[in-house]
Amino acid sequence: MIKAIVCVDKNWGIGRDNDLLFCLPTDMKFFRQTTLQKTVVMGGNTLRSFPGGNPLKNRENIVLSRTQVRDDCKIVPTLDGLLEELKARKNEEVFVIGGEQVYKMLLPYCEVILVTKVEADGGATAFFPNLDSHPDFSLECSGKPQEDNGLSFRFTTYKNNRVKRF
């Protein structure tokens, strides 16, 4: 099953200057616990945004990139190649972890979207599609508001009611 995991601001913004909008340790912990030992799929810019530009530890990292060459993760140079990798793992739990371009490309294939919603405007230049106004998605659950670093946020889950099959 393919899932996406994302942290958005109140405008569904996800990033700026190839970085995240907020520092939310509780959300980072949730992200880590959810994706550990799983396959994570990302675009080349998201890989560049990680500390040292390195893949995430204790996860299989698959990166969509036309330009990067490295042997510490799986680089896939085309969307078709990436879809083949996902097809080969259709019985596993795979997480799409960003960024804007890769979320947009893979959203139709994602069954579940884990969205951390932050009650703030992060001044984003990169965005996630607005699932509240998307006809294919429904809000399945919404957690209680929590506070972290002076920001109010909640964990929510959306379901794709029209999953695209390979």
Q: Which residues of the shown chain bind ligand NAP in the complex (CB under 6 A)?
A: 6-7, 14-16, 18-20, 42-46, 49, 64-68, 77-79, 97-102, 126
The pair of three-digit structure tokens given for residue 136, joined into one six-digit string: 């294919």
Assign 38 to helix, strand or coil: coil
Tally the residues of the chain: 166
CB of 91 to ligand NAP, least distance (A): 25
| Closer residue to ligand NAP (CB): 11 or 49 | 49
Q: Count CB atoms within 10 A of the CB of residue 60.
A: 17
Q: Are strands 151-160 and 60-64 parallel, antiparallel or unpaired?
A: unpaired
| Closer residue to ligand NAP (CB): 87 or 91 | 87
| Closer residue to ligand NAP (CB): 63 or 160 | 63
| Closer residue to ligand NAP (CB): 67 or 91 | 67
CB of 110 to ligand NAP, least distance (A): 14
| Closer residue to ligand NAP (CB): 73 or 97 | 97
CB of 27 to ligand NAP, least distance (A): 8
CB of 135 to ligand NAP, least distance (A): 23
Q: Count CB atoms within 10 A of the CB of residue 48.
A: 14
CB of 151 to ligand NAP, least distance (A): 13
Contacts 24+ apart (CB under 8 A), 131-140: 131/12, 131/158, 136/108, 136/160, 136/161, 136/162, 137/113, 137/161, 140/112
